[in-house]
Structure 1
Amino acid sequence: MKPLQISAETAQKLAKSLNVPLEQIMHMPQHILLAKLAELNSKEDSKKDH
Protein backbone atom coordinates (compact mmCIF):
# COMPACT_ATOMS: atom_id res chain seq x y z
CA MET A 1 0.00 0.00 0.00
CA LYS A 2 1.46 3.35 -0.99
CA PRO A 3 1.47 6.33 1.37
CA LEU A 4 -1.44 8.71 1.24
CA GLN A 5 -1.30 11.60 -1.18
CA ILE A 6 -2.23 14.34 1.27
CA SER A 7 -0.30 17.40 2.36
CA ALA A 8 1.44 17.56 5.72
CA GLU A 9 -0.92 20.38 6.67
CA THR A 10 -3.98 18.24 5.92
CA ALA A 11 -2.54 15.33 7.88
CA GLN A 12 -1.88 17.59 10.87
CA LYS A 13 -5.42 19.02 10.77
CA LEU A 14 -6.87 15.53 10.61
CA ALA A 15 -4.74 14.25 13.46
CA LYS A 16 -5.79 17.21 15.60
CA SER A 17 -9.50 17.01 14.80
CA LEU A 18 -9.68 13.22 15.14
CA ASN A 19 -7.47 13.22 18.26
CA VAL A 20 -5.13 10.58 16.86
CA PRO A 21 -1.35 10.61 16.40
CA LEU A 22 -0.04 11.85 13.06
CA GLU A 23 1.55 8.44 12.40
CA GLN A 24 -1.87 6.83 12.62
CA ILE A 25 -3.21 9.22 9.98
CA MET A 26 -0.35 8.37 7.64
CA HIS A 27 -0.99 4.62 7.96
CA MET A 28 -4.76 4.76 7.69
CA PRO A 29 -6.27 3.19 4.56
CA GLN A 30 -7.19 5.88 2.05
CA HIS A 31 -10.92 5.08 1.90
CA ILE A 32 -11.19 5.40 5.68
CA LEU A 33 -9.25 8.65 5.65
CA LEU A 34 -11.49 10.06 2.93
CA ALA A 35 -14.57 9.07 4.90
CA LYS A 36 -13.17 10.84 7.98
CA LEU A 37 -12.42 13.93 5.89
CA ALA A 38 -15.95 13.97 4.54
CA GLU A 39 -17.31 13.57 8.07
CA LEU A 40 -15.23 16.50 9.31
CA ASN A 41 -16.31 18.65 6.39
CA SER A 42 -19.98 17.97 7.03
CA LYS A 43 -19.51 18.82 10.72
CA GLU A 44 -17.86 22.11 9.80
CA ASP A 45 -20.60 22.88 7.28
CA SER A 46 -23.31 22.32 9.88
CA LYS A 47 -21.49 24.68 12.26
CA LYS A 48 -21.51 27.41 9.60
CA ASP A 49 -25.25 27.02 9.04
CA HIS A 50 -26.10 27.85 12.67
Structure 2
Amino acid sequence: MKPLQISPETAVTLAKQLGVPLEHLMHMPQHILLQKIAELSKKQSQDTTDTTDSSSAAQAPEKGEQ
Protein backbone atom coordinates (compact mmCIF):
# COMPACT_ATOMS: atom_id res chain seq x y z
CA MET A 1 0.00 0.00 0.00
CA LYS A 2 1.47 3.36 -1.00
CA PRO A 3 1.35 6.30 1.41
CA LEU A 4 -1.33 8.95 1.08
CA GLN A 5 -0.48 11.71 -1.36
CA ILE A 6 -1.44 14.67 0.84
CA SER A 7 0.57 17.59 2.14
CA PRO A 8 1.64 17.73 5.79
CA GLU A 9 -0.65 20.73 6.38
CA THR A 10 -3.62 18.84 4.93
CA ALA A 11 -2.79 15.79 7.02
CA VAL A 12 -2.70 17.81 10.25
CA THR A 13 -5.99 19.57 9.40
CA LEU A 14 -7.73 16.30 8.50
CA ALA A 15 -6.48 14.58 11.63
CA LYS A 16 -7.93 17.39 13.78
CA GLN A 17 -11.27 17.48 11.96
CA LEU A 18 -11.68 13.69 11.91
CA GLY A 19 -10.50 13.31 15.49
CA VAL A 20 -7.88 10.68 14.70
CA PRO A 21 -4.17 10.66 15.52
CA LEU A 22 -1.94 11.82 12.67
CA GLU A 23 -0.16 8.45 12.57
CA HIS A 24 -3.48 6.64 12.08
CA LEU A 25 -4.48 9.05 9.33
CA MET A 26 -1.26 8.53 7.38
CA HIS A 27 -1.66 4.73 7.47
CA MET A 28 -5.41 4.75 6.83
CA PRO A 29 -6.52 3.05 3.60
CA GLN A 30 -7.55 5.58 0.98
CA HIS A 31 -11.11 4.28 0.57
CA ILE A 32 -11.75 4.61 4.32
CA LEU A 33 -10.28 8.11 4.39
CA LEU A 34 -12.50 9.15 1.48
CA GLN A 35 -15.53 7.72 3.28
CA LYS A 36 -14.68 9.67 6.46
CA ILE A 37 -14.14 12.88 4.47
CA ALA A 38 -17.54 12.39 2.78
CA GLU A 39 -19.21 11.91 6.18
CA LEU A 40 -17.49 15.03 7.53
CA SER A 41 -18.56 17.04 4.49
CA LYS A 42 -22.15 15.84 4.81
CA LYS A 43 -22.21 16.74 8.51
CA GLN A 44 -20.77 20.21 7.85
CA SER A 45 -23.27 20.89 5.05
CA GLN A 46 -26.14 19.86 7.35
CA ASP A 47 -24.82 22.15 10.09
CA THR A 48 -24.53 25.00 7.59
CA THR A 49 -28.04 24.35 6.27
CA ASP A 50 -29.47 24.26 9.79
CA THR A 51 -27.88 27.56 10.79
CA THR A 52 -28.84 29.17 7.47
CA ASP A 53 -32.45 28.01 7.79
CA SER A 54 -32.81 29.28 11.34
CA SER A 55 -31.20 32.66 10.63
CA SER A 56 -33.19 33.26 7.42
CA ALA A 57 -36.42 32.22 9.15
CA ALA A 58 -35.77 34.76 11.88
CA GLN A 59 -35.15 37.51 9.32
CA ALA A 60 -38.04 36.71 6.96
CA PRO A 61 -41.09 38.94 7.44
CA GLU A 62 -44.48 37.40 8.12
CA LYS A 63 -46.98 37.23 5.25
CA GLY A 64 -49.10 40.10 6.58
CA GLU A 65 -46.12 42.32 7.43
CA GLN A 66 -44.40 44.59 4.91
Give me the TM-score of the superposition, normalised by structure 1: 0.84
Bigger Rg over Cα:
2
* 2:39 pairs with 1:39: yes
Which has the larger share of helix? Answer: 1
Aligned residue for 1:25, secondary structure, equals helix
**Percent identical:** 64
Question: Structure 1: which 5+ runs fail to align?
Answer: none
Q: TM-score, normalised by structure 2?
A: 0.67
TM superposition outliers: structure 1 runs of 4+ over 2 Å: none
Report the count of equivalent residues: 50
TM superposition shift of 1:47: 1.1
Where does structure 2 lack aligned partners over 5 or more consecutive residues? 51-66
